[in-house]
A and B are shown apart, each in its own frame.
Chain A
């Protein structure tokens, strides 16, 4: 097991190096010039040259890359070209919002997706199963932005029972930012009302972001449970008179959930991409929207560092998934 983990960690190094190179080259390919963005269209050539020099943009590309990598290794990802804010700082301030949203979405997806998958698998071939399959296909096919708008229209406009945007009601609650997780900060501030309000703000964005993973998890669980249902050991377990719930939990689910774990890991990438759309619709101050804005303003430093950090998180989540997969599945661990 230790060898497996070390091997996987070593494999990360070329991926991360390649990633930094790719992102670096890519941001340099983006059209437009940050100096012009900062000073505006009417800046004099002398001033533009000055700004380029102070940003290090006048030096050869490979020098810029080594300088960037040097900073990276010391945990310095530079400053925004436009606001001059520290990028790591900015990222850390916004990232909890994205995690909070993504975690809420994935909890919703797992909590609903796995039971629904098991339920439909055990009723394979009935109308329950058929309608479940159709619904999950529709769930996969609804774009996040459309679902988000419809949810907002139904639950915030037609029947105003949930807030339509933001992370907390800023008029009613003043919550000092400590962790930047709104739910946690509200609890730390001793504001149970604020905590409930933060949860209420989470509902619609999490539903919008979680529906596609929910449908995917449901489909995989169903397929996987059907596979396991036909196994000899399940028949044996039934034959020796074990209770239905014991067979379900100990014999079926345990084996059927292996592929589901992998799929949950792969959903992280989708969640991080979907966060851009969800954060736009619900004015959620997270990382997705931040990077998207940076692309529009050509803030190289934010793009390259932000994308790098998101990619790093995605790679790490998948590493954890791989390891837990090996941990759950003795057949991989011992091979």
Chain B
């Protein structure tokens, strides 16, 4: 017998819009989600159309025109190598968004795998995984990321992995928590009582209902990933080629010239703040939309 045997056919006009339709509808009414979503859409568009937006080659320097203040030609001025700061920020969005998405994807995948194993099997599997999670969480995140980058190297994928490793225990804990809470939910007990078990129970009945908090956390983790990637760049652990436009590194190679050229630090910094703010707002809006307790 399967779970399908107990579901009654529902007439089309009475079909409920479901959790996701409902969440999407409420997100469209949340100012946080709208503003956050718009900021992120803006950055995604900038990243995609970077070659058409940037007036200069972000890697080409011209020592004759270094340190220029912001002007009509160089909107955000030029840096010590005479590279156009505006163009570097535009192209830098690709790297930042790429690392963020890559690292969160890796983190969610491995984290939820561990969380699902722990929450589903429980017993010694749970105990082992969760102690491992505790150990990982006891190391300050940035320190762990620094260590991983110095182990794996400074490539883009390696940086993404380093940031992902910090996130894995967080996702594992969240998914496990939701699964444990669902164990006693009426519909899970009902499904069990009609003989649904194993994978079907986990994949069809429990995971779809446990995934909300995970999505919210993933969005917020994108914000942290942007900060972490920039922090690694700032500490000189970003991509090894100094010509690569990376927001965090742009801040660090300017902070020695803070006195005369504040624009060199100001504009990339604002770009980071905006991107992080966008993801945070979006995550907040999603949390409100997905949390039934906050429904009005």
Contact = CB atoms under 8 A, between A and B. Distances in A.
Interface of A: 14-15, 18-19, 22, 26, 29-31, 137-138, 140-146, 149-150, 152-153, 157, 269-270, 272-274, 276-277, 280-281, 288, 291-292, 295-296, 298, 303, 307, 310-311, 314-315
B227 A291 contact: no
Contacts of B153: 31
Given A29-B151, A153-B265, A281 B255 contact: yes
Interface in B112-147: 131-132, 134-135, 137-143, 146-147
A30 B150 contact: yes
A161 B277 CA distance: 30
A15 B147 contact: no
Interface string B264-296: 011001001100110011001000000000000
Interface in B240-266: 248, 251-252, 255, 258-259, 262, 265-266
Contact of A137 (B234, B235, B284): B284
A269 B136 CA distance: 12
A311 B144 CA distance: 11
Contact of A145 (B139, B251, B266): B251
A236 to B, nearest CB: 24
A18 B137 CA distance: 12
B141 A269 contact: yes
Given A26-B147, A146-B273, A153-B265, A277 B235 contact: yes
B265 A146 contact: yes
Nearest to B272: A143
A150 B284 CA distance: 27
Given A269-B137, A269-B141, A273-B140, 13 more contacts: A15-B131, A22-B135, A140-B280, A143-B273, A146-B251, A149-B265, A150-B266, A276-B142, A276-B235, A277-B235, A307-B147, A311-B138, A315-B138
B230 interface: yes
B223 interface: yes
Contact of B258 (A18, A29, A153, A277): A153
A18 B227 CA distance: 29
Interface of B: 131-132, 134-135, 137-143, 146-147, 150-151, 153, 223, 227, 230-231, 234-235, 248, 251-252, 255, 258-259, 262, 265-266, 269, 272-273, 276-277, 280-281, 284
A164 B195 CA distance: 68
B40 to A, nearest CB: 13
Nearest to A268: B140
B183 to A, nearest CB: 20
Nearest to A158: B262
B258 A152 contact: yes
A149 B142 CA distance: 19
**For the complex of A and B, 4 pairs with smallest distance between CB atoms:** A273-B142, A146-B269, A273-B140, A141-B276
Given A18-B135, A146-B251, A276-B235, A141 B280 contact: yes
Nearest to B31: A130
A19 B255 CA distance: 36
A311 B276 CA distance: 27
B147 A303 contact: yes
Contacts of B150: 30-31, 295-296, 298
Contact of B140 (A140, A145, A310): A310
Nearest to B149: A295
A19 B135 CA distance: 6
B147 A295 contact: yes
Contacts of A19: 135, 138-139
Contact of A26 (B151, B235, B251): B151
Contacts of B142: 273-274, 276-277
25 contacts: A29-B151, A137-B277, A137-B284, A138-B273, A141-B280, A142-B273, A143-B227, A143-B230, A143-B248, A143-B269, A143-B272, A146-B265, A146-B269, A157-B258, A270-B140, A274-B142, A291-B143, A292-B146, A292-B235, A295-B147, A307-B143, A310-B139, A310-B143, A314-B139, A314-B140
A157 B141 CA distance: 32
Contacts of B230: 143, 145
Contacts of B147: 26, 30, 295, 303, 307
A280 B251 CA distance: 13
A106 B3 CA distance: 52
B273 A276 contact: no
A149 B280 contact: no
Contact of B139 (A14, A30, A276, A311): A311
Contact of A15 (B135, B251, B269, B272): B135
A315 B136 CA distance: 11
Contacts of B269: 143, 146, 149-150
A144 B137 CA distance: 21
A29 B182 CA distance: 40
Contact of B231 (A22, A145, A157, A272): A145
Contacts of A145: 230-231, 234, 248, 251-252
A149 B138 CA distance: 29
Nearest to A315: B138
